[in-house]
Amino acid sequence: MVEDYNNILVPVDGSETAERAFDKAVKIAIDNHAHLDLLNVIDTRQFMGEMQDTLISGDTIYQMTQDSENYLTSLQKWAKEEFNFTDISYHIRYGSPKRIIAIDFIKDHHNDLTIMGATGMNAVERMLMGSVTEYVNQHSLSDVLIIKTDIDNKKVPKKKKRKLF
C-alpha cells in the first residue's frame, strides 16, 4: 500500500462489514502514522412518512445521537485497548449517508482515504435504496478502500460480532 495517507475516514453503521473495515482502518492508520476519523451518519430520512415535511421528535433524535455516541466511543476505546491507537476522532452527522461520506465530510476534514465495508445492507435494502458503498466508490473525493475480509485477511463467518456496549 502506498504510504502517503495522512487522514483516513472510516464510516461505520454497526454492521459486521463496517466493523471489519474499522479494524483494518486502525491497522492502516498505525502503519501510515495517520489520523483516523470515525464517522456515523444518522439517516433521518428513514423516519419520514409519506409527507416530506413530517418531522421526527427531538427525543428520537436525542436517543439516536446518544446511541451513536456510545457506539463510536466503544470503537475508540477498542482501538486504544487492542492497538494502543489514540489518534482517532469520532463524528456524528445527520442526512444522506451517501453524500456525506463521499463528498461533504471529506471537504470538511480533508480525508485522503476512505475505508469502508462492502455493504451493511441486505439484498432488499440494496435493491430499494442502492448501496452506500457503491455510491461512495463512484463519487468519493478521496481514494476508497472497500473491505471484504477480517484483519487476518480471512472471510468472516456471518455471525461473528463483538460486544461493544
pLDDT tens sequence across 38-62: 999 998 776 555 445 556 677 888 8
For residue 140, give the DSSP letter: -
Domains of the chain, each with CATH number or no CATH: 7-48+57-147 (3.40.50.620)
pLDDT at 162 over 80: no
Whether 57 and 79 have beta carbons less than 8 Å apart is answered as: no
According to DSSP, the β-strands at 7-11 and 88-94 are unpaired
Report the Cα 46 to chain-centroid distance in Å. Answer: 17
Give the CB-side neighbour count of residue 88, counting CA atoms within 13 A: 27
User: Which pTM does this prediction carry?
Assistant: 0.81
Predicted pLDDT at 55: 62
| pLDDT, tens only, 95-149 | 989 999 999 999 999 999 999 988 655 556 555 546 888 899 999 999 999 988 7
